[in-house]
A = this chain, B = another copy of it.
Amino acid sequence: MFLRVARMEAFSDGVFAIAITLLVLEIAIPPGFEGHLLRGVLSQWPSYLAYIVSFATIGAIWLGHNTITHYMHGANTAFLRLNLALLLLVSFLPFPTKLLAENLGSRDDEKVAATIYGITLLGAMLLLSLLWLQALRANLVHPDTGDEEIKLLTARLRPSLAIYVALLVVGWFTPFVAVIGYLVVAFFLIFPIRLRRRQKAEPAVS
């Protein structure tokens, strides 16, 4: 009754790819801009911002997920259930993204929208960290994985949780700053990988 890593990856990739693509469906120009399309397009900046933040975050989570499963030589069911919980949040993300896009700029509601959005991101990142912990504890990681590599991934996942909590607090006072913060965190999660790779000159084997 065990599950192969390959099919879990295929199913997860499907959910990641769909969630990242569905985000665009919520973007639309409201009526009232006939003959002034450029103004209408520009008026939707919160939608584009929310789109990019969510896209970058799902991209970062996909990269992290990819890295974790790459080190694994098998899956147990605790891992699979945690993975389902992560996918639940990832596929839910288009809804908080829509809330954010619709309410950024409206004084009363943007705090609520930014907080719900931030909680969803925090939850997803927490589950990604738990997936990594589970892989380590249950010996799902290849025995020949270097200690340095394990430490590096651990060191990268942990601080992002603290930053998300801090941004949640910031978001209650200045939602816009928090959203920019979420974007920066997502880029931070994609960039360090690059920093590390610089050390290795040769490309990875496919």
Contact = CB atoms under 8 A, between A and B. Distances in A.
A112 to B, nearest CB: 4
Nearest to A88: B55
Contacts of A188: none
Contacts of A29: 99
B193 A1 contact: yes
A108 to B, nearest CB: 4
Interface in A32-83: 34-38, 41, 51-52, 55-56, 59, 62-63, 66-67, 70, 72-78, 80-81
A28 B91 CA distance: 15
A1 B77 contact: no
A206 B73 contact: yes
A205 B74 contact: yes
Interface stretch (A11-19, A123-131, A160-168): A11-19
A185 interface: no
Interface residues of A, number: 85
Nearest to A156: B1
A27 interface: yes
A72 B23 CA distance: 30
28 contacts: A1-B153, A1-B197, A2-B204, A4-B70, A4-B206, A14-B18, A19-B21, A20-B87, A21-B22, A22-B22, A22-B24, A23-B91, A34-B108, A36-B109, A37-B112, A37-B113, A41-B112, A59-B88, A73-B205, A74-B205, A75-B206, A76-B197, A77-B194, A81-B194, A138-B203, A139-B202, A139-B203, A140-B203
Interface of A: 1-7, 9-11, 13-25, 27-29, 34-38, 41, 51-52, 55-56, 59, 62-63, 66-67, 70, 72-78, 80-81, 84, 87-88, 91-95, 98-99, 103, 106, 108-109, 112-113, 116, 138-140, 149, 152-153, 190, 193-194, 196-197, 200, 202-206
